[in-house]
């Protein structure tokens, strides 16, 4: 017994190439849509993860200190400003503070790096407090340093690869004649730490003659603390700059909002194209079948049957296109990631585009809804065909 659905399906197979092309169009639109939705959810997550991975909510730096390591490296470390170590104690004195970790960034010129030398960045850390804040740092080999002034180093994953060092190897600190032993190599964390060489803060101070100096302090406050009020309080300390991670998040989010609007517009255009494509395909197939539809009506089809028949076709087209597009976007997620990364002002380290089943279903739902909307006109056009006109004429007219 023929069913409306079966008739619709067989009709789509009649013009295979046309149906395929329409499906490709819908799939492309779905790809854009899924990627966009995936970006919307992935970016926020990824950004939050990056910032939470810092392990502290507030970063205190010396006044005028650029807080991006990349900027430091470009400037060859000349932008570094120092604060006295004693600030650590005054910060610690506040009962709202849960944990404090001092850091000393040092950037040196290494003539052995690359062909004509390059800069290397060291981060002097406190082995007693730093690992506690950065619990996500996991060792590939080895462990953190034993003593506050140990002549030892821990390499980030990429730094170890670049310098070709393993646990037990020696490493000559550039611009000095001091050798340190590599005691640990970290696993890839997908953060800035991958490219960093960690030394005990005291060692950096001693080797580079920076006694009692640090570049920044990471502060973790307890949960009840009102961050904004606390930051205000920090400014009472002289010559410091407070970098609030919440603030950084906001700034970056604002930048991203602009990019998002752009991506949205692209998605909207893609959707419109798919819509026109579906409408065109289905309308063509209605016009070509003018007589067939007239015959169906003379055989007892109600207006609603014809409407459904044509609607089924758009549902099928958009459903198949939606599935293909979702699978495509899942397979091409890394490519999409790179593509989006290239247009963004700042990208977090972990995946920008996060696609899951729920999201794919959502996108398929949207695409199908769009298909249904674009199917209304052709379906209505077909439904109001009068049998007699169809039987008399050869083709439909708009």
Residue closer to other proteins, measured from CB, 114 or 300: 300
| Bridge partners, 220 (sequence order) | 99
Q: Does 287 bind other proteins (CB under 8 A)?
A: no
Question: Closer to other proteins at the Cβ: 2 or 95?
Answer: 2
Comparing CB distances to other proteins, the nearer of 229 and 299 is 299
Residue 211 or 397 having the CB closest to other proteins: 397
Rg of the chain over Cα atoms, rounded to whole angstroms, equals: 31
In whole angstroms, the minimum distance from the beta carbon of 297 to other proteins comes to 7
Residue 295 CB, nearest approach to other proteins (Å) = 5
305 binds other proteins (CB under 8 A): yes
The yes or no reply on residue 7 touching other proteins (CB under 8 A) is yes
Q: Which residue lies nearer to other proteins by CB, 207 or 301? A: 301
Tokens of 261: 């609007």
| 81 is a site residue for other proteins (CB under 8 A) | no
CB of 284 to other proteins, least distance (A): 15
Contact status, residue 118 vs residue 76, Cβ threshold 8 Å = no
The answer to whether the beta carbons of residues 11 and 285 sit under 8 Å apart is: yes
Which span sits near other proteins by CB under 8 A: 185-193, 302-310, 325-333, 358-366? Answer: 302-310
Q: Is 13 in the site for other proteins (CB under 8 A)?
A: yes
Q: Which is nearer to other proteins, 233 or 389 (CB)?
A: 389
Q: What are 342's two structure tokens?
A: 């290239």
Selected range binding other proteins among 4-12, 98-106, 110-118, 183-191, rule: CB under 8 A? 4-12
Least distance from C-beta 9 to other proteins, angstroms?
Answer: 9
Residue 261 or 299: which CB sits closer to other proteins?
299
Residue 292 binds other proteins (CB under 8 A): yes
- List the one residue from 78, 89, 211, 300 that touches other proteins (CB under 8 A): 300
- 302 counts as binding other proteins under rule CB under 8 A: yes
Let me know if 161 is exposed, middle or buried by CB neighbors in 10 A (0-12, 13-18, 19+): middle
Q: Could you tell me the sign of the dihedral formed by the alpha carbons of 313, 315, 320, 322, in that order?
A: positive
Contacts of 271 (CB under 8 A, 6+ apart): 29, 32, 33, 366, 367, 370
Q: Does 10 bind other proteins (CB under 8 A)?
A: yes
> Minimum CB separation from other proteins for residue 350, in Å?
50
Pick from 34, 59, 180, 301: which binds other proteins (CB under 8 A)?
Answer: 301
Distances (CA, A) of 71 to 10, 55, 67, 80, 339: 62, 21, 8, 10, 24
- Judged by CB under 8 A, the chain residues 379 through 398 that form the site for other proteins are 387-388, 391
User: What residue ranges bind other proteins (CB under 8 A)?
Assistant: 1-4, 6-7, 10-11, 13-14, 291-292, 295-303, 305, 387-388, 391
């Amino acid at each position: 017994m023929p069913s409306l659905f079966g008739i619709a399906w067989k009709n789509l197979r009649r013009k295979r190439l046309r149906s395929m092309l329409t499906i490709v169009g819908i799939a492309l639109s779905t790809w854009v849509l899924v990627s966009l939705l995936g970006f919307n959810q992935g970016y926020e997550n990824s950004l939050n993860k990056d910032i939470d991975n810092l392990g502290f909510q507030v970063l205190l730096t010396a006044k005028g200190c650029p807080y991006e390591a990349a900027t430091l490296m470009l400037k060859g470390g000349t932008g570094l400003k120092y604060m006295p170590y004693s600030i650590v104690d005054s910060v610690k004195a506040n009962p709202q503070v849960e944990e404090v970790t001092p850091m000393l960034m040092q950037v040196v010129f290494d003539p052995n790096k690359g062909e004509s030398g390059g800069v290397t960045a060291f981060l002097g850390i406190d082995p007693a407090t730093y690992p506690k804040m950065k619990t996500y740092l996991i060792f590939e080999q080895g462990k953190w340093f034993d003593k506050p002034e140990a002549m030892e180093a821990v390499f980030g994953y990429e730094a170890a690869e670049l310098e070709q060092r393993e646990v037990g190897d020696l490493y000559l600190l550039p611009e000095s004649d001091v050798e340190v032993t590599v005691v640990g190599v970290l696993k890839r964390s997908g953060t800035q730490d991958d490219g960093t060489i960690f030394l005990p803060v005291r060692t950096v101070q001693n080797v580079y003659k920076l006694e009692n100096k640090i570049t920044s302090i990471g502060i973790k406050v307890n949960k009840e603390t009102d961050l904004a009020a606390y930051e205000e309080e920090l400014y009472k300390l002289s010559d410091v700059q407070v970098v609030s991670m919440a603030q950084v998040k906001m700034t970056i989010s604002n930048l991203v909002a602009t990019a998002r609007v752009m991506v949205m517009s692209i998605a909207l255009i893609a959707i419109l194209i798919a819509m026109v494509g579906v409408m065109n395909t289905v309308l063509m197939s209605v016009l070509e079948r003018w007589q067939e539809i007239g015959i169906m009506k003379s055989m007892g089809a109600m207006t609603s049957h014809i409407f459904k028949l044509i609607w089924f076709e758009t549902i099928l087209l958009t459903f198949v296109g939606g599935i293909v597009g979702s699978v495509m976007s899942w397979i091409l997620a890394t490519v999409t990631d790179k593509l989006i990364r290239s247009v963004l002002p700042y990208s977090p380290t972990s995946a920008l585009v996060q696609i899951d089943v729920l999201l794919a279903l959502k996108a398929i739902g949207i695409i199908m809804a769009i298909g249904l909307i674009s199917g209304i006109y052709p379906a209505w056009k077909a439904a109001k065909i009068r049998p007699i006109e169809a039987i008399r004429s050869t083709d439909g007219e708009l």
